[in-house]
Amino acid sequence: MNRLNWKKFFASPKWVTVVWVLGLIVVWEIGATIVAGVKRTPENVLPHLYQIIGSVFSTQKVNGTQTATQIVLSNAWITLERAGIGFVLGAAVGFVLALLMSRFTAVEKMVFPYLMMIQMIPILGMAPIVLAITKDIDKSRIVIAAILTFYPVATNTLSGFKAVEREKRELMYSLAASRWDIYRKLLIPYCIPYLFTGLKIAAPMAITASILVDTLQGGGGLGCMMSQSLKHAMTIYVFWQIVFLSAIIGILSYQLMVWLEKLLSPYPKELRGNQGKKELTA
Amino acid sequence: MLYDWRTARRNVCMPMELMGIPKKQRTETVSEMLDMVNLLGAGYKYPHQMSGGMQQRVGIARALAIKPEILLMDEPFSALDEFTKEKLNEELLSIWSRAKKTIVFVTHNISESVFLSDRVVVLSPHPGRISAVVDIPLPRPRHLAIKDTPEFGALVAKVRNSFEGV
């Protein structure tokens, strides 16, 4: 590798990521070493990273039938499936609400304050109520994930509907387009990038919410295992594995949205709007 | 203004979709119109992949696709620098000669108006009234070199002088 390539590497965003991850590992390990020196049970506070990684590959059965990794993965599926259903439902409701709010100002005036109020109630307070109403932990997971999803989706999509340039609407009017055509050919395609902004915010949130709902009741799910592990019903490394797995799932869910957006709208959002007169001079 | 999520072809196609023209005919007309503005090869590009001038031409193709009787262009090149504007003026003339449509072209630029037109209608402000109509008998096809001829200069002066009374 010659000098120029090194320069390129140091200037690239990859380099920043490498430094960031290495720095995180160093800080974590320094912390773990200190904790190991002053606490009687350091793995409850901050274990070394190699201990966590070791527990992932350990074949030791921790609850009679399953290893720590098997427990985590089988419960991850329970949580993820419900979070996914809730996310899709919430996104659908959010999109339809945004459509209605853009079509009828009265609906916007009526609905919007309540949307914000629902969003202000802490999820920790809402979850037991939803559980009491549905009397089913699975349904609660779905409902809570949906509630967290629909607000960012609805607001972002609505702002997309409102951002459509006057000229683009006028073209539709000058062609005597029906209202259905205006939605189908202009407003809905236009707001897709905005919709995805909302989906990107909501996806990790839906998963976090689903994990939180797990902790309310026994019967499986990542959150349930997490609290059992913290209460020493099983090895504490189940907890640490879940911490890392949740972070990874959150990032992956975001990436999935980025990927879906590229698939559905093959043009960069930042280029729209200002591509008219100014660029013509180039 | 083009729709960013549609390719050049689908942008030209859009007005015909609204008018319920059958698909086969749409495809034919799109090719015909893009050929007219010399963009047949760029049909599958998105607006952000095209230069401003190309976008402008796709816009013209889209307007012509529904076979209008006349085309109104309201200061389309007013924000451009002189060189780009002259290039697009020439291209507009060649598109016009192929499309054989009447174009009503609004501009604040006297030399542009003389270069493009058969007839220049001078409007006075407040209230907007026709203050003069100047016929432009310059031969066609016209190229940029015509701007250096004395005839062209005389016509520009004539149009400018018709503002005097305003």
> Would the pLDDT of A55 be above 60?
yes
Q: A73-99 pLDDT, tens per residue?
A: 888 988 899 899 999 999 999 999 999
What's the complex ipTM? 0.77
Whether B107 and B61 share a structural domain: no
Q: B22-47 pLDDT, tens per residue?
A: 999 999 999 999 998 889 899 999 98
| A122 domain-assigned | yes
Q: Give DSSP secondary structure letters for chain A.
A: --HHHHHHHHHSHHHHHHHHHHHHHHHHHHHHHHHHHH-SSGGGT---HHHHHHHHH---BSSSS-BHHHHHHHHHHHHHHHHHHHHHHHHHHHHHHHHHHHH-HHHHHHHHHHHHHHHHS-HHHHHHHHHHHH--HHHHHHHHHHHHHHHHHHHHHHHHHHH--HHHHHHHHHTT--HHHHIIIIIHHHHHHHHHHHHHHHHHHHHHHHHHHHTTSSS-SHHHHHHHHHTTSS-THHHHHHHHHHHHHHHHHHHHHHHHHHHH--S-GGGSSSSSHHHHT-
| A127 domain-assigned | yes
Whether A90 and A32 share a structural domain: no
Instruction: Give me the number of domains chain A comprises.
Output: 2
Whether A21 and A102 share a structural domain: no
Q: Which residue among B10, B32, B67 closes a domain?
A: B67
Whether B91 and B49 share a structural domain: no
Whether A112 and A179 share a structural domain: yes
Range of the domain at A18: 3-46
pLDDT band at A45 (very low <50, low <70, confident <90, very high): confident
* B80 interfacial to chain A (CB closer than 8 Å): yes
Percent pLDDT > 90 in chain A is 40
Whether B42 and B94 share a structural domain: no
Give A 179-198 residues with CB within 8 A of chain B: 181, 185-186, 189-190, 192
| A282 domain-assigned | no
Q: Which residue among B41, B67, B93 closes a domain?
A: B67
Taking contacts as CB-CB distances below 8 angstroms, the residues of chain A near B5 are: 189-190, 192, 265, 267
Whether A173 and A41 share a structural domain: no
- With an 8 Å Cβ cutoff, are B14 and A189 in contact? no
CATH number, domain at A94?
A: 1.10.3720.10
Q: Which of B2, B5, B67, B81 to mutate to test the interface with A (most CBs of A within 10 A)?
A: B5
Whether A105 and A242 share a structural domain: yes
Whether B52 and B96 share a structural domain: no
Taking contacts as CB-CB distances below 8 angstroms, the residues of chain B near A279 are: 51-52
* A132 interfacial to chain B (CB closer than 8 Å): no
Whether A75 and A25 share a structural domain: no
Range of the domain at B56: 1-67
* B55 interfacial to chain A (CB closer than 8 Å): yes
